[in-house]
Amino acid sequence: MTHKIAILGASGYTGAELIRLLAEHPSYEITALGAYSKAGQDMADVFPHLRHLALPKLVAFSEIDFDAINLCFCALPHKTSQEVIRELPKHLKIVDLSADFRLRDAEAYEQWYGNPHSAVEMQGEAVYGLTEFYRDDIAKARLVAGTGCNAAAGQFALRPLIEAGVIDLDEIILDLKCGVSGAGRALKENLLHAELSEGTNAYAVGGTHRHLGEFDQEFSAIAGRDVKVQFTPHLVPMNRGILTTAYVKGEAEVIHDTFSKAYASEPFLQVLPFGQTPSTHHVRGSNFCHIGVTGDRIAGRAIVVVALDNLTKGSSGQALQNANLMLGEQETSGLMGAPIFP
């Protein structure tokens, strides 16, 4: 059976990545591509790397016949997303890649995003899209909220440890190194090649990054108590990839065992042998996530390092993984492509 797919916001990087993944998928057909300012354009002009594909033109959302669509990916900016999704027909399955439905609590949403939510009633309905931990709910969901890319990386590094109670919940530090595509295709001075290449810097320092909202919600829910992590992202001169260095207090070998068990049957989560550390080089362009655990010279401390591609496992690959579940396809379908190296 062929599922008919629409992508709203197809002119951004996550939209393009969705198309790349869907193009090779045996049971999906891209039926409509929606955009704002680029409506009317050919995808070959917006993303010349997709020119070999027979894709529909970009159109305004109003021109899309949603009755003919089975599932819609929304790759829109925050706030726009909720306004658009609120108006979509209710038969439609939706995977939202924005931040709009990640936080279940309306107040938390407003605190982190600065505006009241305009589709509060749908917040309750939405299922959090971290596939490996919400698999059953996602399979039954109509609306799935894709996670933040940093939020995904941080949770792969910590969820099983919090669940198993093997680390000190008050002493968690996440130091992230992020590629630039996570910031999208926006025209900002700090994203210019001349400003960004050949150097690195921290940003959103001090606990101000919005993905903290997801960490707080998820980690506290697992622990059954408030958990607040310290989280500092850094911009690194690479296009794709997130490397999470998690500093935790606990026994390194116990931590490694915990991952080995928790992720034993996960097709995309690869736990490295104890003492090895992953690299974003080795997951680029793929849906795989590598996890390494090392003990520190200071007894009772461990370092967990997680590498994933923010555009794939961190957003569009995750979105497809969720869509596969929602449409009854095999979860890994279209996602087993090996990373590109070098």
d(CA 291, CA 52): 35
Does residue 243 bind a copy of itself (CB under 8 A)? yes
Report the relative pairing of strands 269-271 and 127-128 from DSSP bridges: unpaired
For 123, phi then psi, to 5°, come to -60, -40
Nearer to a copy of itself, 85 or 304 (CB): 304
Nearer to a copy of itself, 60 or 336 (CB): 336
* From candidates 67, 121, 140, 187, binder to a copy of itself by CB under 8 A: 187
Nearer to a copy of itself, 272 or 325 (CB): 272
Q: How far is the CB of 185 from a copy of itself (least distance, A)?
A: 7
Does residue 135 bind a copy of itself (CB under 8 A)? no
d(CA 189, CA 203): 14
x-or-dash string of contact with a copy of itself, 189-218, rule CB under 8 A: x-xxxxxxxxxxxxx-xxxx---x------
* From candidates 126, 144, 145, 180, binder to a copy of itself by CB under 8 A: 180
Site residue total, a copy of itself (CB under 8 A): 86
Is 72 among the catalytic positions? no
x-or-dash string of contact with a copy of itself, 249-288, rule CB under 8 A: ------------------x--x-x--x-xxxxxxxxxx-x
- Span interacting with a copy of itself, options 102-110, 120-128, 152-160, 182-190, rule CB under 8 A: 182-190
Residue among 243, 190, 233 nearest 210 (CA): 233
What is the SS3 assignment for 267? coil
Nearer to a copy of itself, 143 or 252 (CB): 252
d(CA 313, CA 309): 6
Catalytic residue among 72, 74, 149, 289: 149
The long-range contacts involving 197-206, CB below 8 angstroms and separated by at least 24 positions, are 197/237, 198/237, 199/237, 200/234, 200/235, 200/236, 200/237, 201/234, 201/235, 202/232, 202/233, 202/234, 202/235, 203/233, 203/234, 203/235, 204/232, 204/233, 205/232, 206/232
Does residue 315 bind a copy of itself (CB under 8 A)? no
Residue among 211, 186, 190, 214 nearest 9 (CA): 186
Q: How far is the CB of 117 from a copy of itself (least distance, A)?
A: 22
Catalytic center residues:
149
